[in-house]
């Protein structure tokens, strides 16, 4: 992702990468759905920004599987990913995230 971090071009490319790999992520990690939120969706990302991804699973993973998915996504996209489980959202912040999430 180097050189194309910002703006809608960066967001479009991230969405494209996630869409292209969605079936594989479902098979390997039992991912049910993915969505983007945070600075990239708002167009407020900077060079140090990570990519915030909301994930929902068919069955909840163990800690190692969750970390493996976060690493896998970071490698695919080329930018550090902060992975958040939909089931783990706290009510106050969860409402904000769910309002701004961009489904994949």
State yes or no: is 82 an active-site residue: no
Q: Rounded distance, CA 46 to CA 52, Å?
A: 13
CB 92 within 8 A of CB 29: no
Is 87 assigned a catalytic role? no
Q: What is the DSSP string of 3-27?
A: T--SHHHHHHHHHHHHHHHHHHHHH
* Catalytic residue (one of 4, 23, 47, 52): 52
Task: Please state the length of the chain.
Answer: 104
Pairwise CA distance, residues 97 & 75, whole Å: 24
Given the residues 23, 47, 50, 82, the one annotated as active site:
50
Supply 41's token pair.
């969706």
Which residues carry out catalysis?
A: 50, 52
């Amino acid at each position: 992702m180097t050189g194309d971090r910002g703006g809608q071009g960066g967001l479009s490319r991230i969405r494209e990468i996630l869409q292209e790999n969605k079936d594989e992520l479902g098979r390997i990690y039992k991912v049910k759905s993915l969505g983007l939120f945070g600075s990239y969706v708002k167009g407020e990302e900077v060079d140090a920004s990570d990519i915030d991804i909301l994930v929902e699973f068919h069955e909840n993973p163990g800690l190692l599987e969750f970390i493996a998915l976060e690493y896998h996504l970071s490698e695919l996209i080329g930018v550090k990913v902060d992975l958040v489980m939909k089931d783990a959202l706290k009510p106050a912040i969860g409402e904000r995230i769910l309002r701004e999430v961009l489904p994949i």
